[in-house]
Amino acid sequence: MKTLKFKTNINCSGCVKGVSPALNGEKEIAHWEVDTNNPDKILTVNTSTLTLKKWRKR
């Protein structure tokens, strides 16, 4: 399993709720979470098949 991390502008639980349908619907994502307490609002994605290259094409 790979872990991909991204700096985001997802600032609050409402923002997390807004992106949840898209991230939950992505079959290649096993688990994801956003650390809104981190100043960089880090999105962590666990996947077996998704690569950074594939992610950027979406």
Contact between 1 and 30 (Cβ < 8 Å): yes
- C-alpha closest to that of 36 among 58, 50, 56, 17: 17
Percent of the chain at pLDDT exceeding 90: 81
Amino acid of residue 31: H
Task: Record the pTM.
Answer: 0.85
Residue-averaged pLDDT of the chain: 92
Distance CA 6, CA 3 (A): 10
Contact criterion met (CB below 8 Å) for 44 and 7: no
